[in-house]
Structure 1
């Protein structure tokens, strides 16, 4: 999400501004890119090339739809993606849940490998939880998704998936340096993503 994320409000209620390097890392190592990379890696390691390309296309369509919604949200809100009214913060969670559930249904109808369905359900749980909880407490969605990808990547792809673990420290630093989140919010995001991913590996 980068600069298009729900951002920490600094003094005066305005989103903070960090270093150019932090902003660049936050933009490049965004949740959409990380999950799409993990999804694609899992798809091509568990299905034929044509089938995997089709599954990735489904995921990308869902991501594009969510990004489009977030851009509309930003255009209607002077505070960017930060919604100052707590009750309004549940709307993005519901949109995310709807798009994620639709993706799971489509993957199931396409007879996608179980690994892909489990991965999508697990990531949907992480993203929905973190998004919904902003009605009460903020947590870094960037960090939650990065940590989820790290656990799921290592569990599903082995050594190749370890690359996702390597980006976690960079994402955590960037979100604090960019003043998008406090260290506590980053830690909460890391906990949420790690625990849900681990639960998914053990249970799903």
Structure 2
């Protein structure tokens, strides 16, 4: 019989059980991420994930009710890490170009996470299911770009404009760099650092105030 102290964590067994459960959860997430990258969403089943993770399917269902929820949890964890790095970067040096480099470098350092997120489509299974972008708790953290753009506008470094729209321009262009370098590495892109830096520099310069 499970004692109440074991459930609420006052028994030494409580923390151990929670730690073991968290370790199992992380193993499942890593196994699922690798399968989504190699097999695509349609090619992944909870049974395949269980085989890769070395556990029973029932163990996975104890954490995640279905494959789509599992995929969304992978995405959420990655975006939490991304937002943490972006905010730390901007707190350390309030520079728009540096913030953009941090964003691109994050994906270049984690190419499988990039593939798992941006090469896997999000398809609601039933009509009342929403998209990941509508429910994510981490994605609003990308507003750090709006803060950086507004700060740069206030300092007179770039033109006034809608920071949300300007953020979209930055994100689309930065994704172009990451997508090319990650998914088509055999193309003659030249030096990847110069490609990244020159693209970001051109983007920010294009937003600068025009002298009259």
The two structures have a TM-score, normalised by structure 2, of 0.29
The two structures have a TM-score, normalised by structure 1, of 0.30
Structure 1 or 2: more helix by fraction: 1
Q: Which structure is larger by alpha-carbon Rg, 1 or 2?
A: 2
